[in-house]
Amino acid sequence: MAVMNSAFDPLYGEAWTRRQVEDALVIGNCHYQLISPSGDDPHDGTPAAGFYLSRHGFEEEELLLFAIDPAWRRRGLGLSLLREFADAARNRGARRLLLEMRRGNPAETLYRRFGFAPIGERPNYYRSRDGQTIDAITFSFDM
Ligand SMILES: CC(C)(COP(=O)(O)OP(=O)(O)OC[C@H]1O[C@@H](n2cnc3c(N)ncnc32)[C@H](O)[C@@H]1OP(=O)(O)O)[C@@H](O)C(=O)NCCC(=O)NCCS
């Protein structure tokens, strides 16, 4: 939750509450992983530098949340975590990864570099706190 609360720009309202995360995790098909500043699994007491939360469906897994704390960005942790996500999802039976992103999110560079490609758009799907509407773009990665 510390990373959640520091990583997402409040303008877009993308951070989830603790309650939303807990509700997702009790469903059983949602998975998460943390990453430490050194790129490993955080040990007890080590603060996390980032995390993902995903939802598995039949032969697909969707990245619901993905964030690196601003203090630890541009050191390759996001790319490492994305690779760990792909490996874990593959082990859970996924053959395709999906994610949805607001148009203009700089994360697009990372997603494309990893190999994600756009497959669809929802015009004006999001509304930011200042009232502007923003398209959603769906990306997929076939494994
Ligand atoms: C997106 C995010 C997870 C990237 O984490 P990160 O650890 O900084 O990413 P990495 O260091 O692994 O970046 C790897 C490459 O991706 C690209 N990249 C990452 N962030 C970028 C940015 N803000 N602008 C442009 N390119 C970027 C670069 O090519 C980078 O390589 P380089 O640093 O050698 O140029 C992080 O910026 C974040 O938490 N953003 C806020 C939350 C968010 O929007 N999540 C995605 C929701 S869809």
Terminal CA-CA length for the chain:
30
- Could you report the per-residue pLDDT of 69-122, keeping only the tens digit for each? 999 999 999 999 999 999 999 999 999 999 999 999 999 999 999 999 999 999
Torsion over CA: 84, 87, 92, 95 (sign): positive
Pocket of ligand 1 (CB under 6 A): 7-8, 66-68, 73-79, 101, 105-107, 109-110, 113
Closest atom of ligand 1 relative to the 102 alpha carbon? 48
Nearest CA to ligand 1 atom 7: 78
pLDDT above 70 coverage of the chain, percent = 100
What integer pLDDT is reported at residue 43 of this predicted model? Answer: 82
Domains belonging to the chain, first-starting first, are 2-142 (3.40.630.30)
Tokens 């053959």 belong to 95
Closest atom of ligand 1 relative to the 74 alpha carbon? 11
CB 82 within 8 A of CB 66: yes
Nearest CA to ligand 1 atom 42: 67
Provide the residue type at 127 as one letter.
R
- Could you report the per-residue pLDDT of 12-65, keeping only the tens digit for each? 999 999 999 999 999 889 999 999 999 998 887 889 999 999 999 999 999 999
Helix (H, G, I), strand (E, B) or coil at 57: strand
Q: What is the C-alpha separation between 35 and 48, in angstroms, rounded?
A: 6
What integer pLDDT is reported at residue 14 of this predicted model? Answer: 96
Helix (H, G, I), strand (E, B) or coil at 28: coil
What integer pLDDT is reported at residue 65 of this predicted model? Answer: 98
Query: How many angstroms does the Cα of residue 64 sit away from the middle of ligand 1?
Result: 16
